[in-house]
Amino acid sequence: MSSTLSRFKQMSPQARELLHALRFPPEATEQVYALVDCNNFYASCERAFDPKLKDVPIVVLSSNDGCIVARSNEVRAMGVGMGEPYFKYKEIIEGNNVKVFSSNFTFYGDMSRRVMSTLMQFAPEMEIYSIDEAFLNLAGCDHLRGKPDLTEYAREIAATVRKWTGIPVSVGLAPTKTLGKLANYLAKKKPESGGVMNLLDRSIRDAALESAPVGAIWGVGPKSTEYFERIGVKTARALRDLDDEMVLRKMGAAGLRPLYELRGFSCSDLDTRLQPSRKRITSSGSFGRRLKSLSEIKGAVAGHVAIAARKLRRQKSATQILTVYLLTRSFGQKPTDKSRSFKVRLRRPTNNSSEIIPYALKAVETIYEPGSEFRKAGIFVDNFIPEDQVQSLLFRTEQPGHSRELMQTIDKINRRLGRGTIKYAAQLPAQWTGARCEHASPRYTTNWDELVEVS
């Protein structure tokens, strides 16, 4: 106890506040969460508009056709790894007649919106956690739509999403978000569950925790998993029953969150904002070929600035910190290949693309080395403040919002006529540096020329 007290005294005020909230969560056992997760989302999107792909093994490649970013269950069974380079498994993929697709993010994003809009009709509160996952608050939703219990209600949710969008989903029911993640994990692992796992009952929950490896717990990373397994904690139930001090020693105060949620105490509410404000915005992409030209690299970086600035304006934020990076590393090259980055502080916070681009171009000049071959470029911005709190500079006559109408007009035109309709001149040298998409499927739901034809 004395060691725990000593460690508590050494914590920051924020850590102490979190620890206290975790130990005494208000109404912590009265929540009912459902985690709805799309099964093999990218592959399922492709199958939704091409029935011939049913039961056909599928892989989806990254934006430059370089890495495997999604696999159907059939491909997983072949031992093809997630995030691995495509060339590493090309022989296996071609030998097993695996269907290969380039990433079609416009299509996948629209299918995600369709799934989420369907889910909104089943619960009073929803948190969109990722492109293919959402938490629903089902407290008080018993017997809705004539269903006898929440398990059958969850089956109704899954059936409706499948019927309306063509996307199969799994549903995990639990009193906390961490347990909801685990329930969804088990729903996918156990075919007899029919895609729905309910861990609201304590006895069922205990058995489920005993069957789940500690590495399957949301918030327990690879290093923590290795540590826990080394001391004999190999199951989720063993982690739940572990002494607080041991978790505190390895994972800090934040590590107590999954621990208490495994015990049935809800430690986090739903973030019900449709577009939560980001703390960092990133835009990057691989080139279709290796680049040596400074002007082309500048053009690519200018394009990423335009994308990031548009996202800033969408969430009504401004930034004062910009980081630009270039990568020369590629598969098969020597370990001496490296990345280069440069961080710059803007003169004042802004979300105006034309104000940020000159800083980015100067950063490229700083880290560019003649003769190097670059395969990827990107930027990220952080240190945000609300755009309506930007102060004007003492020796500048224009006000912070002087060009806001221009930015809004450009954004409106690009939304209506297509992204990139209006570009900055700095982007033009990079117009032929786009990523390879040799296996792209049609944009079935967002492009008039690529809609499904029925005869």
Q: Is the pLDDT of residue 303 over 80?
A: yes
Q: Which CATH number describes the domain made up of 41-104?
A: 3.40.1170.60
Q: Model confidence at 119, in pLDDT bands (50, 70, 90)? A: very high
Q: Are 282 and 378 spatial neighbours (Cβ–Cβ below 8 Å)? A: yes
The rounded mean pLDDT for the chain is 83
Which among 141, 179, 142 is positioned nearest to 265, based on CA atoms?
179
Between 398 and 272, name the one with better pLDDT: 272
Overall average pLDDT of the 89-113 stretch: 90
Compute the average pLDDT of residues 50-70: 86
pLDDT bin (cut points 50, 70, 90) of residue 305 is: very high
* Distance of alpha carbon 186 from alpha carbon 362, whole angstroms: 51
* Mean pLDDT of the 228-235 span: 91
- In this predicted model, what pLDDT tens digit does every residue of 316-350 receive, in sequence order? 899 999 999 998 855 444 444 578 899 999 988 99
Amino acid at 205: R
Q: Which sequence spans correspond to the domains of the chain?
A: 14-37+108-262, 41-104, 281-430
Higher-pLDDT residue of 123, 26: 123
Cα dihedral sign, 288-294-300-301 = positive
212 neighbors 185 (Cβ within 8 angstroms):
yes
Q: Over the chain, what HEC string results?
A: CHHHHHHHHHCCHHHHHHHHHHHCCCCCCCCCEEEEEECCHHHHHHHHCCHHHCCCCEEEECCCCCEEEEECHHHHHCCCCCCCEHHHHHHHHHHCCCEEEECCHHHHHHHHHHHHHHHHHHCCEEEEEECCEEEEECCCCCCHHHCCCHHHHHHHHHHHHHHHHCCCEEEEEECCHHHHHHHHHHHHHCHHHCCEEECCCHHHHHHHHHHCEHHHCCCCCHHHHHHHHHCCCCEHHHHHCCCHHHHHHHHCHHHHHHHHHHCCCCCCCCCCCCCCCCCCEEEEEEEEEEECCHHHHHHHHHHHHHHHHHHHHHCCEEEEEEEEEEECCCCCCCCCCCEEEEEEEEEEEECCHHHHHHHHHHHHHHHCCCCCCEEEEEEEEEEEEEHHHCCCCCCCCCCCCCCHHHHHHHHHHHHHHCCCCCCCHHHHHHCCCCCCCCCCCCCCCCCHHHCCCCC
Confidence at 10, pLDDT banded by 50, 70, 90: low
The predicted structure's pLDDT at residue 16:
54
Nearest to 445 by CA among 15, 149, 49: 49
The pLDDT, as a whole number, for residue 2 is 43
Second-level CATH architecture of 14-37+108-262:
2-Layer Sandwich (3.30)
Given pLDDT bands bounded at 50, 70 and 90, which one contains residue 28? very low
Q: If we measure between CA atoms, which residue out of 260, 200, 187, 205 comes closest to residue 33?
A: 200
- Look at residue 212 in the predicted model and tell me its pLDDT: 92
For domain 281-430, say whether CATH 3.40.30.10 is its number.
Answer: no
Closest CA to 164 of 219, 121, 222, 107: 121
Residue 19 has pLDDT above 60, yes or no: no
160-212: pLDDT as tens digits: 999 999 999 999 999 999 999 999 999 999 888 899 999 998 889 999 999 99
